[in-house]
Structure 1
């Protein structure tokens, strides 16, 4: 399997191939086509949910899983200090070429820095926990990077609809899904991603010492939520 298929596709698009698309494979059937243009959309093309997230960011921002920098670029334009992280070297290379001042190849579980006012995990960034069990581990890590008065912003969704015609799995949480990227003939390694329904997310956040507030939902059953630290958490 090819490593960093995501980065290869983003670099190809940035180099001028504006017709480039990803195909996203999962265990449910045929691959879904995903236009690479999505990773480069600016403020004017963002969904209402994404725009609310952008508007809510303040202060020093940590953009986790920043991709091609669609949020990082806009936040810099708003004079925010942004640190943009991604595990894809190709994505980070594209971010730097787009003018993101502090883009780093890094795994959030290993990242250490000073505190941030906002930690942003968009495009279901909370899913990088991979499993429901590890969501609490991710929150504990983010807690070490969040200012006491700071805020974590993330989006996710309830994927119950995927099981309309089949029973939910009994050996793992139904929101845990296997994916892999394909760009042209190149296929990447399979990886796990988790989508967390809001009620379950509230329970996990509460145990981890966070308030979890719903900011908005959209017609695709996605939601935007905010995590803030409880006193003495």
Structure 2
């Protein structure tokens, strides 16, 4: 069930009547406003603006969604490839005028290398779980040129857990990393299958990058435990 693609195409084709609802393993229900995916550069948060300004050379936009980042870069005369495994998202990108789109799973996309790989809107979440981060970074390395870069953002969701008197946090009694969150999306009465999304604190990302022969540089921190990082080959 391509929930995201259905919603994006509806908005693109003037059929916007409701937003996406998300349910998470953190016992939270949230709303994702569809207009958020169609914002222009001046409407984007500072982290995304900074990320786009750091792009250079040929660019791969992984998990492109409605293509707002790719569209901006294309308008700035960059050669950009928009990649997503959502048929609806890719069709939305086509309708918005993005010239180079690719419908494929991230791990199946092979054979091309880029100067910049872009992973925005908590793009690190595509790794799904912490024990899959090494595999994720290993594949990322096959997509960048020798002097290439990966621009990625994520969030440390430690703030979502209760604080004790000593300033520590009460984490759930589970075997997994606290930043592993399971989601279900709902749109117009249809629900997605459950899927995992990884929110990774910077120190954990830095250790994983080092283990995969990547430099990890903190570029900017956001206002709410979010951050932008740059990975480059050692």
CA distance in 2, matches of 1:20, 1:121: 27
2:168 is the alignment partner of 1:190? no
Q: TM-score, normalised by structure 2?
A: 0.94
- 1:70-219 matches, cutoff 5 A: 70-164=68-162, 166-219=170-223
Please report how far the alpha carbon of residue 213 of structure 1 lies from its aligned counterpart in structure 2 after TM superposition: 0.3
Shift of residue 80, structure 1, vs aligned partner: 0.7
Structure 2: where are the runs of 5+ without partners? Answer: 164-169
What value does the CA root-mean-square deviation take over the aligned residues? 1.2
What secondary structure does 1:24 align onto? strand
Aligned residues: 228
Following the alignment from structure 1 to structure 2, what is the Cα–Cα distance between the partners of residues 70 and 133?
30
Q: How does 1:44-59 map to 2 (within 5 A)?
A: 44-59=42-57
Offset of residue 156 of structure 1: 0.3
**Paired residues of 1:216 and 1:224 also in contact (CA < 8 A):** yes
What is the CA distance between 1:19 and its match in structure 2?
A: 4.3
- Assess, with a 3 A threshold, how the Cα gap between structure 1 residues 111 and 169 changes in structure 2: closer, same or farther: farther
Counterparts in 2 of 1:149 and 1:27: CA distance versus 1, 3 Å:
same
Q: Deviation per CA, 1:104-131, whole angstroms, max 9, x where unpaired? A: 1111111113210000000111111111
Runs of 4+ in 1 over 2 A off after TM superposition: 17-20, 165-170
Question: Contact 2:157 / 2:199 at 8 angstroms: preserved in 1?
Answer: yes
Which moved further from structure 2: 179-188 or 15-24? Answer: 15-24
